[in-house]
A = this chain, B = another copy of it.
């Protein structure tokens, strides 16, 4: 009777046995991989160098980076017609690990994340085996409640403690920043959801962020149709944080030009130098100029867990939204990213829409919420054909935070279909990873790990300051866990141009980074701001919760060795 009789063999196999076998295969491969990074700690303690380092095949990595085809030959990329069975898991895992960067090595100081947390890995395994998706409550009751609870607790930790404060998972920091801008745009100008930005003769909507802000903030403006020209980059002071006086000037210029300050992004922990913008001043300006105040705390937000470090986030309670990534300093495995909000009604209002097959009408939610468009009178008014002379409705004095749009939105505490809060549909409940992590270590334990990373950076900065041929970028009291420096051991002619100095700095920086790579350390570099003290690329070391004094000492010794063997034995190629 079935058109194609289904064979008996299609019946499910013993999945428990299969899962156990598969997981054991993976664990067997992971054991030597993780053991290697533990051995690194031992050899750093006893001999001040890494025994294995970031890459199992040592200095081959640099060659692979330049010639990916060489690496490709070593991988088993073939996707076969006939399956190789579960036995393949061991060999695929082994090959993959052999040619992967070991982020658990103490030598991995290249990016804003490092070794993954054990409870986080356990939670990831649970999530995979559950295969849950908390876009609607119906299919993920416990997962949804965990995400809502963790989001709320995180929001409170950052000082967002209103009745409707909370947070939701997003697929990364870039998504957090762009979703925040989307919410700001749609709440302020709801008609845009329907009519779009084309042909609208409204004043320009302006976005403010420091020149050191993450590129995703600038990119969000182009993605959302506002255009990158609508972003005003605010200059930073020498410590790399936003200059609030420059922001004030830019805001005044915006108003004077008849434009609308839509969105101000403060950064708590910039990507390169870890600078904390003065959030209190910026937040007060945002409220004064009626702009949405977003804080990109993806990196530096970890300070929220520590009573000792929390002062760095002073003023973040002014924020309308905060991006925070537990997958960075905390070590929760990627991806674990949150967008927190002071008033989740705005999130809901900006993102909710009708999809009868997914979101079933729910007596807990006011029915008005089920319409895609919001044509109910919104005080901000229509944007189309607004005469240039009648811009009062766009004026800075109208408080959108108390607008009817938000007042009439659903009670976010009663919204359990979390896909209503962001543009995503399917969502992996990544909050569960932070939930496991937090329960295992507690806030105090997390604080201790975070403080360890900050202390490690302070210690490393002092070690580098003592080296005569190294020059720190910025103060020795580094604001976060990055330590940035130049090699300054080579002399330059007095007549050297700024370009020559920058070229030489960049040259040495890259030599040191490459030399460290050969010795198992990964340390990235970044372009200087172009100011007098920041010409050309400098090295950027990122300390993490595993950066003990031994690690710092071993790294400084490795830098010295690189300088001796790769720089001071050969004359610099580029001279002034």
A281 within 8 A of B: no
Q: Is the CB of B197 within 8 A of A225?
A: yes
Q: Is the CB of A133 within 8 A of B146?
A: no
CB distance from A558 to the nearest CB of B (A): 18
- On whether A226 and B228 interact (CB within 8 A), knowing A77-B146, A141-B65, the answer reads no
Q: Is the CB of B22 within 8 A of A83?
A: no
The stretch among A25-33, A394-402, A490-498 that forms the contact with chain B is A25-33
A138 within 8 A of B: yes
The chain B residue with its CB closest to the CB of A216 is: B425
Encode A185-209 as 1/0 by CB contact (under 8 A) with B.
0100000111111111110110000
A315 within 8 A of B: no
Q: Is the CB of B441 within 8 A of A118?
A: no
A230 to B96, CA, bound (A): 46
A339 within 8 A of B: no
Q: Is the CB of B130 within 8 A of A103?
A: yes
Encode A102-146 as 1/0 by CB contact (under 8 A) with B.
011000001101111011111011111111110001111111111
CB distance from A206 to the nearest CB of B (A): 11
A379 within 8 A of B: no
Q: Which residues on B sit within 8 Å (CB–CB) of A128?
A: 116, 120-121, 124-125, 333
A93 to B119, CA, bound (A): 11
A222 to B354, CA, bound (A): 13
Q: Which residues on B sit within 8 Å (CB–CB) of A88?
A: 119, 436, 439-440
Q: Is the CB of B194 within 8 A of A428?
A: no
A526 within 8 A of B: yes
A385 within 8 A of B: no
A326 within 8 A of B: no
Encode A333-358 as 1/0 by CB contact (under 8 A) with B.
11101000000000000000111111
Q: Which residues on B sit within 8 Å (CB–CB) of A130?
A: 96-97, 100, 103, 116
Q: Is the CB of B18 within 8 A of A118?
A: yes
A570 within 8 A of B: no
CB distance from A246 to the nearest CB of B (A): 21
- On whether A2 and B133 interact (CB within 8 A), knowing A15-B34, A89-B122, A124-B128, the answer reads no
From B79, B122, B224, give the contact of A443 (CB < 8 A).
B79
Copies of this protein in the assembly total 2
Q: Which residues on B sit within 8 Å (CB–CB) of A72?
A: 145
- On whether A215 and B133 interact (CB within 8 A), knowing A2-B458, A4-B458, the answer reads no
Q: Is the CB of A425 within 8 A of B172?
A: yes
A3 within 8 A of B: yes
Q: Which residues on B sit within 8 Å (CB–CB) of A424?
A: 171-172, 174-175
Q: Which residues on B sit within 8 Å (CB–CB) of A132?
A: 100-101, 103, 334
Q: Which residues on B sit within 8 Å (CB–CB) of A334?
A: 131-133, 426, 428
A559 within 8 A of B: no
A310 within 8 A of B: no
- On whether A438 and B226 interact (CB within 8 A), knowing A1-B462, A12-B546, A141-B61, the answer reads no
A424 to B34, CA, bound (A): 29
- On whether A81 and B1 interact (CB within 8 A), knowing A113-B131, A124-B124, A141-B64, the answer reads no
A256 within 8 A of B: no
From B85, B230, B526, give the contact of A196 (CB < 8 A).
B230
Q: Which residues on B sit within 8 Å (CB–CB) of A172?
A: 171, 424-427
- On whether A225 and B228 interact (CB within 8 A), knowing A68-B416, A128-B116, A131-B334, the answer reads no
The 3 closest A-B pairs by CB, nearest first: A225-B225, A196-B227, A83-B442
A-B contact pairs, 24 of them (CB 8 A): A6-B452, A11-B548, A15-B115, A19-B30, A65-B137, A68-B416, A83-B440, A86-B118, A92-B435, A93-B122, A97-B130, A103-B139, A116-B129, A171-B175, A171-B335, A174-B426, A194-B222, A194-B229, A195-B227, A197-B225, A198-B227, A199-B199, A199-B202, A223-B224
